[in-house]
Structure 1
Amino acid sequence: MRVPDWLLRHRVTIEPYRGDTAYGPSYGPPVADVRALVSATVRQVRRATDGRETTSTAQVITAPGLTCPPGSRLTLPGGRVTTALSTAEHAAPGLPVPACTEVICE
């Protein structure tokens, strides 16, 4: 079971992180109008890249299978641009819990 589309009320734009170059970070082509549920709450989290503690100011829930590696740029519904700290796929086969992808943002 997937998270129902009617719960995903927001739209975000994602530029997938491709790596660092001599000129700075490189991003893939933007994926616009990704259906999401955005929660603007402050939480203490650990970065996926180096394990340091940091503060997350937004969490984004999308349908499962989203490609958004840590370091990707996200444009939230209000126009704020943020960076993905970590991405997690949530699934519970056999249970009545919807599968989704969660992106923790700076």
Structure 2
Amino acid sequence: MKVPAALLRHRVTIEPYRGDSAYGPIYDPPVVDVRALVAHTVKQIRASDGREVVSTAQVITLPGLDCPPGSRVTLPDGRVTTAISTADHTAPGLPVPACTEVMTE
């Protein structure tokens, strides 16, 4: 079961991070109009490299979103931020909706 589309009231744009080059970060073309639920909450989280960082927005989307840490995320208010961590939440066999959660700077 996926998170109900009716709950995903916001639209975000994702530019998936692919690595660094001699000229800076490399991103895939933007994926626009991604349905999401955005919560502007301040939370202290642990980044993939072990650092403790502050997240200022939590983005919930349908499962399977391609948004590795370092990706650029444009929030509904126009603010461009960076993905700190991405987590896929599933519970096979349970009546709990599957989703992808992205924590951003």
For the superposition of Structure 1 and Structure 2, which TM-score range results when normalised by the shorter chain?
over 0.9
Give the aligned partner of residue 38 of structure 1: 38
SS of 2:102 mapped into structure 1: strand
Give the aligned partner of residue 57 of structure 1: 56
**Structure 2: any 5+ residue segments left out of the alignment?**
none
Which portions of structure 1, spanning 4 or more consecutive aligned residues, are displaced by more than 3 angstroms? none
Please say if 1:14 is aligned against 2:14.
yes
Distance 1:105 1:16 in 2: 13
Distance 1:74 1:51 in 2: 21
Q: Match for 1:56: what amino acid?
A: S
TM-score by length of 1: 0.98
Give the aligned partner of residue 88 of structure 2: 89
Report the identity percentage. 77
- Count of equivalent residues: 105
Q: Match for 2:74: what amino acid?
A: T
- The CA deviation at 1:93 is 0.9
SS of 2:6 mapped into structure 1: helix
SS of 1:6 mapped into structure 2: helix
Give the aligned partner of residue 100 of structure 1: 99
**Structure 1: any 5+ residue segments left out of the alignment?**
none
Give the aligned partner of residue 65 of structure 2: 66
Give the alignment's Cα RMSD to 1 decimal.
Answer: 0.4
- The CA deviation at 1:94 is 1.1
